[in-house]
Amino acid sequence: MEQEVNWQYVVNALSNQVAQLSQEKAYHEAIIAAQQEEINELKANIPEEKENAE
């Protein structure tokens, strides 16, 4: 017996997965942006730290 595929269910399930993955991607990109900003701030402070050490 062959089961009929409920294509609307498949499309909805895949759409939900895409939405979830898009949210996760945005979340990770926000974390990366924040970390990059912190790295840039730390790099900017390195010359000041070297000058203060001398």
DSSP string, 16-32: HHHHHHHHHHHHHHHHH
Written as one letter, the residue type at 42 is: L
Q: Can you give the pLDDT at residue 46? A: 87
Separation between Cα atoms, residue 23 and residue 15, nearest integer Å: 12
- What H or E segment, with its residue span, contains residue 2? none
Q: Can you give the pLDDT at residue 2? A: 82
Separation between Cα atoms, residue 41 and residue 46, nearest integer Å: 9
Tell me the mean pLDDT in the region 4-33: 98
What tens digit of pLDDT does each residue of 23-34 get? 999 999 999 999
pTM greater than 0.75: no
